Chain A
């Protein structure tokens, strides 16, 4: 099992206001650290027009981290494909793939905020059509590793039948994960096994390596706080189907319950229960101080990576 870290969202939030240029510099320092401690990959995330500057253009920062490293792989977790021109994304992906010696991964999702579609003159009602057309264009024109970010079985099948990797976001139980993995695999088999090799499964998991009870509680509070960002994104969306505000405590409880906080040994035992090729450790919250984030990236590389390398 390979271990990545993420998600770098490049925000300056109300809980931790900063200069954006410093946020981008810090990202490059973290990419360098992740490479030095033996982490497989480094993942970025996208939104548009959000007050805290949540990164709206993932490929330029991906290029910067790839330029600054030699072995680290860099991925988008995820790029919102319906909001982009697929031909431009294909050209950029091919360029990043070739220039980095194959270290770029294109992960793609659909997006769920109407305002983001509106900002590009699009209607969110068209997102499934745009997503499918974009994926079909990319699958025929790009050699780089590609993943589809999914939260539902139809999406898992969308990835599987095109031979693309499955990228599952964090807050799901093992039962749901297993269902998505099975849907992905059967769609791939029914489509005649495109690509010849079973496409990989990636899992985004909320986790933190911590020792004492106090450190564990502190880490869980950081995980809970991450939900504030999503509550904020929900306020900008009136038809996502989720009432982010009314559900905030419930959602935070769910996020906390889905998180794995403990020693590297405990986390490795938990991760080994999953049938995954890649786990992206979700640690990129805005609330932990940089020093705490730095320490956990070091510990993921030096403690967790060796424990799951053989699985």
Chain B
């Protein structure tokens, strides 16, 4: 199971840049943004410009935008982010499917998306497919949530997290990766290097 950071609702763009860069530096898989209808992909561009490796996941309101508009914005984001875009469309399934077909370069109702995205199989998820968990700074409680999701077969989890990112990356994202994480590795890492690396970024 892969772990991403859910930054939706973060109003401060400077903080969005800093946290996205730090999430990438600490090896998280993705950053999720997109809170206000109309500005979702602008937030995603901010994340894309601040990073080079994380997936840029964007939650788009499919009720106020036409499927063609959503697909166009996501395709442009995919080029601006060098094929890191992941679209989450909050809409009914026919709308999500419409967006997905356009982004997979199908001609829909006589219309071909131009430009198509850079990715061949652009991920287009419906909002109901997105797994999100709010985790506090109690790492023991966090472990049980991570273990339960991973063992239930989840492939990803976006985490809402308000503390330092190092414990999330060291204790929980690592643990999520597979069923046999040796906890002593994370615990010893805290002893060897207890300071978060934010100053080095």
Binding site for B on A (CB under 8 A): 10, 12, 19-21, 23-24, 48-57, 59-61, 63-64, 67-68, 83-85, 87-92, 95-96, 99, 115, 118-121
Asked whether, in the complex, the Cβ of B77 is within 8 Å of the Cβ of A60, the reply is yes
Asked whether, in the complex, the Cβ of A96 is within 8 Å of the Cβ of B42, the reply is yes
Q: Which of B38, B39, B79, B112 contacts A24 (CB 8 A)?
A: B79
B46 at interface by CB-CB < 8 Å: yes
> With the chains together, A74 CA to B73 CA distance in Å?
18
Given contacts A88-B37, A90-B38, A95-B39, contact A120 B68 (CB under 8 A): yes
Given contacts A21-B118, A24-B80, A87-B64, contact A56 B46 (CB under 8 A): no
Q: Chain A's nearest CB lies how many Å from the CB of B81?
A: 9
> With the chains together, A6 CA to B111 CA distance in Å?
28
The chain B residue with its CB closest to the CB of A84 is B69
- B75 contact set on A, CB distance < 8 A: 56-57
- A119 contact set on B, CB distance < 8 A: 68, 111
B148 at interface by CB-CB < 8 Å: no
Extra inter-chain contacts (16) besides given A84-B69, A88-B65, CB under 8 Å = A19-B118, A21-B83, A52-B114, A57-B72, A61-B76, A64-B49, A68-B49, A83-B69, A85-B65, A85-B69, A91-B38, A95-B36, A95-B39, A99-B13, A99-B42, A120-B69
- A50 contact set on B, CB distance < 8 A: 114
Could you tell me how many residues of chain B have their Cβ less than 8 Å away from some Cβ of chain A?
33
Q: Chain A's nearest CB lies how many Å from the CB of B114?
A: 5
> With the chains together, A87 CA to B38 CA distance in Å?
8
> With the chains together, A144 CA to B115 CA distance in Å?
28
- A52 contact set on B, CB distance < 8 A: 114
Q: List 7 A-B contacts (CB under 8 A).
A: A20-B79, A23-B79, A50-B114, A63-B45, A63-B46, A67-B49, A91-B39
- A53 contact set on B, CB distance < 8 A: 114-115
Asked whether, in the complex, the Cβ of B38 is within 8 Å of the Cβ of A21, the reply is no
> With the chains together, A68 CA to B199 CA distance in Å?
23
Considering the complex of A and B, which 6 residue pairs feature the smallest CB-CB distances, nearest first? A53-B115, A88-B38, A91-B38, A56-B72, A63-B45, A67-B49
Residue from B13, B38, B75, B115 having most chain A Cβ neighbours under 10 A: B115
Q: Chain A's nearest CB lies how many Å from the CB of B166?
A: 26
> With the chains together, A49 CA to B112 CA distance in Å?
6
- A60 contact set on B, CB distance < 8 A: 41-42, 44-45, 73, 76-77, 80
The chain A residue with its CB closest to the CB of B14 is A99
Asked whether, in the complex, the Cβ of A56 is within 8 Å of the Cβ of B76, the reply is yes
Given contacts A60-B45, A60-B80, A61-B76, contact A120 B115 (CB under 8 A): no
Q: Chain A's nearest CB lies how many Å from the CB of B56?
A: 11
Q: Chain A's nearest CB lies how many Å from the CB of B35?
A: 10
Q: Which of B42, B44, B66, B113 contacts A92 (CB 8 A)?
A: B42
Given contacts A48-B72, A63-B42, A89-B38, contact A21 B112 (CB under 8 A): no
Q: Mark B146-163, 1 if CB is under 8 A from A, else 0.
A: 000000000000000000
Asked whether, in the complex, the Cβ of A91 is within 8 Å of the Cβ of B37, the reply is yes
Q: Which of A49, A67, A83, A85 contacts B45 (CB 8 A)?
A: A67
> With the chains together, A96 CA to B110 CA distance in Å?
33
> With the chains together, A133 CA to B110 CA distance in Å?
28
Asked whether, in the complex, the Cβ of A91 is within 8 Å of the Cβ of B36, the reply is yes
- A49 contact set on B, CB distance < 8 A: 111-114
The chain B residue with its CB closest to the CB of A47 is B114
- B41 contact set on A, CB distance < 8 A: 57, 59-60, 63
The chain A residue with its CB closest to the CB of B61 is A88
Residue from B39, B79, B80 having most chain A Cβ neighbours under 10 A: B79
Q: Chain A's nearest CB lies how many Å from the CB of B59?
A: 14
The chain B residue with its CB closest to the CB of A96 is B42
Q: Mark B22-57, 1 if CB is under 8 A from A, else 0.
A: 000000000000001111011011101100000000
Asked whether, in the complex, the Cβ of B46 is within 8 Å of the Cβ of A67, the reply is yes
> With the chains together, A83 CA to B188 CA distance in Å?
57
Residue from A10, A55, A118, A119 having most chain B Cβ neighbours under 10 A: A119
- A19 contact set on B, CB distance < 8 A: 118
Asked whether, in the complex, the Cβ of A64 is within 8 Å of the Cβ of B45, the reply is yes
Asked whether, in the complex, the Cβ of B111 is within 8 Å of the Cβ of A118, the reply is yes
